[in-house]
Each structure stands twice: as C-alpha cells, then as structure tokens.
Amino acid sequence: MIDYVKGSLEELTPTFAVIEAAGVGYEVNIDLQTFTALQSLQDKSHADKSSAVRLYVNEVIREDSHLLFGFLTKGERELFLLLTSVSGIGPNTARMIMSGYTAAEIRQIISTGNAAALSRIKGLGAKTAQRIIVDLKDKILKLQLTDGAPADLSSLDQPSANIETKGEAVQALTMLGFAAAASAKAVDKILADDPTASVEKVIRLALKML
C-alpha cells in the first residue's frame, strides 16, 4: 500500500496533480482545497522548474482502474476515509464535499448536526447528508487535524446557488491561469454585491478585477 507520494509537481489542475517520483509520474486526484494549497506553493517557487511536494494518498482499486486520491495531511486523508465509509458516499462524492468546505468546516458541520450545510453540496440530498451525520457524528470528534483553528462557517449563510456559482466560477478562473485564492476573493466580493449573478457574469466581472 502506498502511504504518500513525494516528488516534483509537474502538472496541476483543479481536479488532479501529476507528481514525478523516481522517474514515474503519478496522477493523483485532489480536491479544490488541496489544489489551492498546491497552487500557492507553486506560485512561491515559480522561479524553479518544478515544485517539490508530498501528498498522503489513498488507493482506490477497481476492476477497470487504479486511482490515487491525495491530501496534504494525514488528517485530511482520514476525513476522506471516514466520508467514504458511509453507505452511498464514493470517492468522488467525498472529494466534492472536501472541495466545498475545509476539513475543519466539515468536522464542525458534522459534529453540530448541520445537515442543511452538507446538503448544499451539489448532488448531495438531505437524506444522504443526514446519514453522514448519523454515521460520523461521534467519529468525527476524534479526527485530528493539523490546523486547530476554529472553522469559519460564515459562508454557510450563503444560498445554495451561491456556493455552486462560486465553485464553478473559481474553477473556471483557475483553469484560465489565475491563482485560486485571488479568484475566490474576487468571486466572494462579486457575489456579496450581487447574490443572483450568473456564473458567466461572475467570471466576466472577476476577469476585470484580477
């Protein structure tokens, strides 16, 4: 079993990273939180040809595929494993949840029984959100995260449509080459001024700000 992959960051997208280690390029599936952190690292070391990174991985072996899902910390990987232990939650759904909220936010959402916040994740219904809470409410409290800072759940007051619009807009902007952190900040400002703005409008306005 592979515990982690450490090497040079050769390619980075919002959904996967390619890490070269010992002459082998590993395609590792990532969430948006990990993408943002890796992009920040990449920006800081832009003078180098590539950036050295380490991702803790979980292997998902199927009949027709062998997938790697990567995380910056063991705590995030443990959260991923907890989510996928719930009936009906596969690796891609778990990744979507971890793209919508930080690990600290997810821990707080589940521990406080906030099913409404979970159900705002695209494709995650109210029943599934409640099942996650029932199955993990006690287990999630034992989860140790590197970042002990309290979660900022102010974004949970945003309408569900806003969360989806933000996610799509930030992903599109990062694909265009803009830093994820700066893109998210611009999108937040636009949606604060116009909560009903379409994805296309948000992207168009953000391009003028970045």
- Residue ranges of alpha helices (H) inside 30-143 are 32-44, 74-84, 91-100, 103-111, 115-118, 126-136
Q: Which CATH superfamily is domain 1-72 in?
A: Nucleic acid-binding proteins (2.40.50.140)
Q: Which CATH superfamily is domain 74-157 in?
A: 5' to 3' exonuclease, C-terminal subdomain (1.10.150.20)
Which helix H or strand E contains 60, and what residues bound it?
A: strand 51-61
The pLDDT tens digits along the chain (210 residues) read: 889 999 999 998 878 999 999 999 999 999 888 887 887 777 666 545 556 899 999 999 888 889 999 999 999 999 999 999 999 999 989 998 988 788 988 999 999 999 998 988 877 889 999 999 999 999 998 888 865 444 444 555 555 556 778 877 887 887 767 777 788 888 888 988 888 888 878 888 888 787
Sketch the domain layout of the chain as residue ranges.
Answer: 1-72, 74-157, 158-209
Q: Is the pTM of this model over 0.85?
A: no
